Amino acid sequence: MSTVTTTKPAPTAPGRAPVAAHSGEGRIGLRANLRHIGALVRRNALQIKQDPESMFDVVFMPIIFTLLFVFVFGGAISGKGNQEGYVNYVVPGLMAMMGMNIAMGVGTGVNDDFKKGVMDRFRSMPIARSSVLIAKIVVEIGRMMAAIAILLAVGFMLGLSIKGSILGLFLAIGLAAVFGASLMWIFVLLGLTLKTAQAVQGMAMMVLMPLQFGSSIFAPPSTMPGWLQSFTEYNPLSNLADAARALINGTPVGNSVWMVLVWSLVLTAATMPLAVRKFRQKT
């Protein structure tokens, strides 16, 4: 003969509804969600403090790229001895490149965190699933801002001049941050989808190389063949490079700023929900 043991719900005070069990992310309010994001941002920042080598790409990448492109391509594009003129062309373009290269590291980092079991521990906690990914994006935006600050410092040493307004400079930095965040969601999704960090890196390079060199970052599109000019016209990196260049040099921005904002909105709206959903479902 078998017996069945049942557990009665705990009594509640008269006139009060019974307290429902915690059912996960859906019952987490905005204030709690922001608190979770803040705690995870602090955790990720402390990890960087404990592992300063993780900042090598942020520190050295803008220095190496700026010196390399100015002194290798500057003379060929702007004329021998006119590297300073090329600085005002390439440094705003490199702001777009910084965001894309750092975004690639987000994908490999997320993939590696799953391999180490870090993400499994987060998913077992009563926190919003999106807060884990948003916190990572926030920290990576901070890293991108540090890279852009170093890029501008090197640019000023090489002769970069702000021909527009200081407000234009900050608007250019803000555009780079917004677009960089949208790219990060793409690479987070790749990191959650592909099996290894090497696969994420390989896929990223296949995307990065055509977008970076098929753009107006390093050279004016007018020097390119017609079919490539058509590609650069719709390349979001060209839009960002052109917008940052116009804001820093005080020239008309045209539609480039709006194009960057539209690209950022579309990419974020398309990939952020997919990344959060994949994070919930990944085993």
Least confident span in 15-24, 128-137, 155-164, 182-191: 15-24
Confidence band (pLDDT; 50, 70, 90) for 210? confident
pTM for the model: 0.81
Confidence band (pLDDT; 50, 70, 90) for 24? very low
Confidence band (pLDDT; 50, 70, 90) for 280? confident
How far is it, in rounded angstroms, from Cα 73 to Cα 78?
A: 8
110-131 mean pLDDT: 74
Domain boundaries, the chain: 30-281
How far is it, in rounded angstroms, from Cα 99 to Cα 183?
A: 8
Q: Is the pLDDT of residue 172 over 80?
A: yes
Of 82 and 173, more confident: 173
Reported as a single tens digit per residue, the pLDDT across 75-103 is 677 666 667 778 999 999 999 888 888 88
Neighbours of 37 (CB within 10 A): 21
Least confident span in 36-50, 69-83, 134-148: 69-83
DSSP for 56-121 reads HHHHHHHHHHHHHHHHHHHHHHH-TT-HHHHHHHHHHHHHHHHHHHHHHHHHHHHHHHHHHTHHHH
Least confident span in 16-20, 39-43, 135-139, 148-152: 16-20
Reported as a single tens digit per residue, the pLDDT across 13-23 is 444 433 333 43
How far is it, in rounded angstroms, from Cα 89 to Cα 248?
A: 10
pLDDT at position 12: 42
pLDDT at position 108: 84
Residue that has been written with the tokens 């884990």 in this structure: 132
pLDDT at position 19: 36
pLDDT at position 283: 56
Q: Judging by beta carbons within 10 Å of its beta carbon (0-12, 13-18, 19+), is residue 112 exposed, middle or buried?
A: middle
Of 233 and 130, more confident: 233
